[in-house]
A and B are shown apart, each in its own frame.
Chain A
Amino acid sequence: MMVAPRLKKILLGVFLLLLTLPLLLLYVWLLFNSINSGPLYSLIPNQPSLRSWIQLFSRLPKASGMPESILPIIGNTVIVAGGVMILNLFVCGLAGYAISRLAFKGKELLLSSLLIMKAFPMLILLIATYFVLFYLRILNTFLAVILARAAMELVMGTWIIKGFFDNIPREIEEAARIDGASWITLWGRIMIPLVRPGLLAVGIMAFIGGWSDFIFVYTFIFDQSKWTLSVFLYSLIASQESVDYNFLSTVSLFYMLPMIMMYGFIQKGLTKGILGGGIK
């Protein structure tokens, strides 16, 4: 019994569409609500309006205990995301090179602990991390969030950068060393530029990690003046006052857009990086 291949494809398409529709609906609804005035009771915007987008960038809707302007919140989010990115590029760029190229005592131990940490869910250590940050006296600072989030992202990052260094022919390095380049020059001027694609991927992943972080900001930051977009949005959702769904959708979309763009940018490289060497 053979079903015609064409019919089979159509059936498959219908099946996929049914499976995907609820998910698609969620995002379409988010979009339509953000460009409507008043909550939607159907699936089509009945009063199209850019009201909440204008509100977002001028004066936020009045609600008790909420900030008045979005700009400092965006600024804080960028500080956290940028901080995680810069720290991770620095740490992974250095360590990835050493692990790939240099010989040192304890390298085996470091490699096997990195392997375990790659799978180890750092979130379980949250209570003790809070304790450590308390003793470092950096609770309620951006530094606390940046350090913790960077620590969470850097195992994967080091691994990716190490892979990129592994692929660079050793002759390049040897030639430079014969020419008398110092270690720092060799690393900074010659090796680092050669792994630029790897740094780009790791940098973007770190930025996304910092940008989307919720639990660290929520746990380690107490002042409203240091809120990031995630905690701001969560406070809006959790606030007991009547919720403006148009505005919530707009904040959500605005918060989501940079992440979608960045993922779109690195998605191909990401799959390859994760699979690289694993499946052949």
Chain B
Amino acid sequence: MKKLIPYIFILPLILLILLFYIIPAVSTFYISLTDMGRSLKGDFVGLKNFTRMFSLEDPVIGRVLLNTIFYLAGALAITIIGGLLLANATASLGGAMGAFFRLVWFLPRATPPVVWAFLWIWAFNPTQFGLLNMILSRIGLPGRGWISLYPMLIVILANGILGIPYTMTILSAAIGNIPYEIIEASRIDGASGWQIIIKIKIPLIWWPLSFLTIWHTLSFLTTFQYIMMITGGGPFYASTPLALYTYNKAFQNMELGYGSALAMVLIVLSMVIILGFRQILGLKREA
């Protein structure tokens, strides 16, 4: 009886892990080998879904993969560089002003996803109601349909900026933990502000920086809800990365089999990233 007690404690956790991680992961693989559709029943078709994808039989898949790379690179750059820049600048500014800027930059994280998407849709609205067009008209410039003109850029900005609060908060704490003497000593030795950032601060915060990069790579690779709401992936797949394509194939076209094959690619990619960087993601194991 006594031996059973620990298992009673972890039973609810195990049940939820089984239901929402293990079984879905196995089912994704199974469904990807079928032609499952709306009825949620499908016949076994072997690797047909995968050959459809890899032989570029699907005419948009090349476009989608290219989008994924651009989107990932762009959003990552904004999140990491933006967070690093803000953490540094607010720390140097210090005091109430620094705290104020950090507070404003924390807001996106405290904004529900739908509201965040709405802010972007509205800011770039093609009519005179859009914030950008309204400002342009005030200074005598014509408004434009921003979202259909630059869908990818807007999607990258919206997602990249959303990552900044997390990056900034963690990097601020990490920079705050750097002993003051180190910075002061290098300053006395004549290092400039930029030299201090690049040669001293960045190496000292290398661990959180790589953790954040991997974390956001996984997050950008797999979240699609903001893109879905802001551009809908369009016009004509112009802003559809793999994760959104997967969702739309499955739940709009109801091609669950093919959607699962696409999801398998994302699962394998994620696992490679996670296992490759396990040491870093493990928060050094003991934490």
Contacts and interface: CB of A to CB of B under 8 A. Distances in A.
B1 to A, nearest CB: 10
Given A233-B118, A234-B229, A255-B115, A275 B263 contact: no
Interface stretch (A21-29, A61-69, A168-176): A21-29
Interface stretch (B63-71, B146-154, B215-223): B215-223
A61 B170 CA distance: 42
A19 B82 CA distance: 10
B19 A147 contact: yes
B104 A23 contact: yes
Interface in A215-244: 215, 219, 229-231, 233-234, 237
Contacts of B10: 94-95, 98-99, 104, 110
Interface centre among A115, A154, A245, A278 (most CB of B within 10 A): A278
A121 B114 contact: no
A23 B161 contact: yes
B138 A42 contact: yes
Nearest to B257: A127
| Chain B, interface SS category | helix
A116 B129 contact: no
B131 A29 contact: yes
A273 to B, nearest CB: 10
B52 interface: no
B105 interface: yes
Contacts of A74: none
A271 interface: yes
Given A104-B7, A124-B263, A279-B174, A252 B270 contact: no
Interface in B1-38: 3, 5-14, 16-17, 19-21, 23-25, 27-28, 31
Given A13-B97, A151-B20, A256-B112, A125 B263 contact: yes
Interface residues of B, number: 97
Contacts of A275: 170, 173-174, 208
Nearest to A162: B287
Given A103-B6, A121-B270, A271 B107 contact: no
A91 interface: yes
Interface stretch (A50-58, A128-136, A194-202): A128-136
A178 interface: no
Nearest to B29: A128
B110 interface: yes
A151 B286 contact: no
| Chain A, interface SS category | helix
Interface stretch (B43-51, B86-94, B194-202): B86-94
A23 B105 contact: yes
A260 B27 contact: no
A13 B111 contact: no
A190 interface: no
B260 interface: yes
Nearest to B26: A128
Contact of B247 (A122, A126, A147): A126
Contact of B20 (A26, A125, A127, A264): A125
Nearest to A107: B6
Contacts of B11: 94
Interface of A: 9, 12-13, 15-16, 19-20, 23-27, 29-30, 39-42, 90-92, 94-95, 97-99, 102-104, 110, 113, 115-132, 134, 136, 147-148, 150-152, 154, 158-159, 163, 183, 187, 211-212, 214-215, 219, 229-231, 233-234, 237, 245, 248, 252, 255-256, 259-260, 263-264, 267, 271-272, 274-280
The 6 closest A-B pairs by CB, nearest first: A277-B287, A151-B20, A98-B9, A128-B24, A104-B6, A121-B222
